[in-house]
Amino acid sequence: MKKCTKCLLPETHESITFDENGVCSICRQVEYKKDKINWEAKKEELKELIESYRGKYDYDCIVPFSGGKDSVWTLYYLMKEFKIKPLVVRFDHGFLRPNLNENTIKVLRNLGADFHTFTPNWKVVQKLMLQSFLEKGDFCWHCHTGIFSYPMHVALRYNVPLILWGEPSSEYTSYYSYEEEEEVDEKRFNRYVNLGINAVDMAVRLGGALDERDFKPYSYPPLKDLRKLQYRSVCLGSYIPWDVKTQSKIIQEELGWQGDLVENVPEQYNYEKIECYMQGVRDYIKYIKRGYTRPTHLASIDIRNDRMSREEGELMIGRFEGKEPPSLEIFLELVGLTKEEFYKICESHTVSPWKFSAIEKEVGGKLPDFDSWSRAGKMKREDADIQIDNWKKTQ
């Protein structure tokens, strides 16, 4: 596969393009971020934005929150720098890890903020996971859509027009660049978040198996309602330079936030994607489909920031990528699939020119908290068969 001549991202990375020198669009975006943006002026814009909403509503803004490094930094920075009164909103995707939950308690108690959390119907989540995995080779549709749509519903419910998110998508993909104004709106939701399947599409694909009301948390609110609210939904990372390593260190020191190990990720990145115990499965699916996974992503970030050489990155990737995660057995139980079916479905979504081979695959090690990961609510095989059979009819 073709790879960026600067970082290690391959041509199968979503939205990537290469220039005449073989440098990828994400590297060029980060160069623009470092060299062309007046961050002092951008911070002043943020200050003006916050002041235009401050004190006019029950809350100055909504901060969507997972408890991971980016949302914790966002909340910490906004409260410390601008003394805001936020409503912190979490969409619980169903796979929160014990350390993550403890971190959330520490952060909220140390900062002092009201917390609104929503845990959706597990039976609905199960069907959505299986259907999106069948359709796109990505079981996280409920999480992607819920995280980005549910806080917008809360904004309407509590009459809070300003929503402040974490990093912009231009930090890691090329759906947007740093040269553009990136609003976290329905356009972005459809372009970047929902895998090209909106809630109406998903309802149709499930053939009436769910009540239409079940899809509301995954549906973007009507634009007319948001306009009436006079909403703004933007990323903090559009106004301050994003640096995950520095930010992670600060929240550890100031809030007691603790990192965690993640399946098949080097331990020095213990701040990365610690929220979800299905993260290892998600990363492994990316390897099957696209030929790379999280170590490539992390090495590429470090290379762009002059913290790692390409050679060091390649060695790290060789050590950690392509291993089957132990959490796969839990995932298969929860969605009612066999391992053979899993591989067949994943390989049907492979992105050319990558070709996956399951021969002599290695299995990664279990993490210390593995035995605490819930297996409750396993899908019955007959229920999975109904969805699989209906999906096969459309192929």
- pLDDT band of 159, cuts 50, 70, 90: very high
The pLDDT value given to residue 17: 98
The pLDDT value given to residue 142: 99
The two three-digit tokens of residue 31, written as one number? 């160069």
Q: Is the pLDDT of residue 274 over 70?
A: yes
- For the stretch 4-16, pLDDT in tens is 999 999 999 999 9
Long-range contacts of 198-206 (CB under 8 A, 24+ apart): 199/145, 202/128, 202/131, 202/132, 202/141, 205/131, 205/135, 205/391, 205/394, 206/127, 206/131, 206/387
pLDDT (mean) for 74-78:
99
Rounded CA-CA distance 72/61 in Å is 15
DSSP 8-state secondary structure symbol assigned to residue 192:
I
How many residues make up the chain in this entry?
395
Q: Is the pLDDT of residue 361 over 90?
A: no
- For the stretch 44-61, pLDDT in tens is 999 999 999 999 999 999
The pLDDT value given to residue 357: 87
Q: Is 24 exposed, middle or buried (0-12, 13-18, 19+ CB in 10 A)?
A: buried
Residue of 367, 359, 341, 218 whose CA lies nearest to 279: 367
- pLDDT band of 316, cuts 50, 70, 90: very high
SS3 254: helix
Return the number of other C-beta atoms located less than 10 Å from residue 237's C-beta. 22
What percentage of the chain carries pLDDT values higher than 90?
A: 98
- pLDDT band of 360, cuts 50, 70, 90: low
Q: Is the pLDDT of residue 379 over 70?
A: yes
Rounded CA-CA distance 313/306 in Å is 12
DSSP 95-151: -B-HHHHHHHHHHHHHHT-EEEEE---HHHHHHHHHHHHHHHS-TTHHHHHHHHHHH
SS3 275: coil
**Cβ burial 96-120 (10 Å sphere, 16+ → b, else e):** bbebbeebbebbbeebebeebeeeb
Rounded CA-CA distance 179/193 in Å is 20
Q: Is the pLDDT of residue 358 over 90?
A: no
The pLDDT value given to residue 233: 99
Q: Is the pLDDT of residue 218 over 80?
A: yes
Give me the domains of the chain, ranges plus CATH numbers. 39-238 (3.40.50), 263-394 (no CATH)
pLDDT (mean) for 198-212:
97
pLDDT (mean) for 173-188:
96
Question: DSSP alpha helices (H): ranges in 161-222?
Answer: 186-188, 199-205
Return the number of other C-beta atoms located less than 10 Å from residue 39's C-beta. 12
- For the stretch 243-256, pLDDT in tens is 999 999 999 999 99
Q: Report which secondary-structure segment, H or E, holds 156.
A: helix 141-158
* CA diameter of the chain: 61
Under 8 Å between Cβ of 313 and 302: yes
DSSP 8-state secondary structure symbol assigned to residue 10:
B
pLDDT (mean) for 144-157:
99
Residue of 140, 155, 164, 190 whose CA lies nearest to 81: 164
Residue 231's alpha-carbon distances to 162, 167, 221, in angstroms, are: 6, 19, 12
Rounded CA-CA distance 243/70 in Å is 10
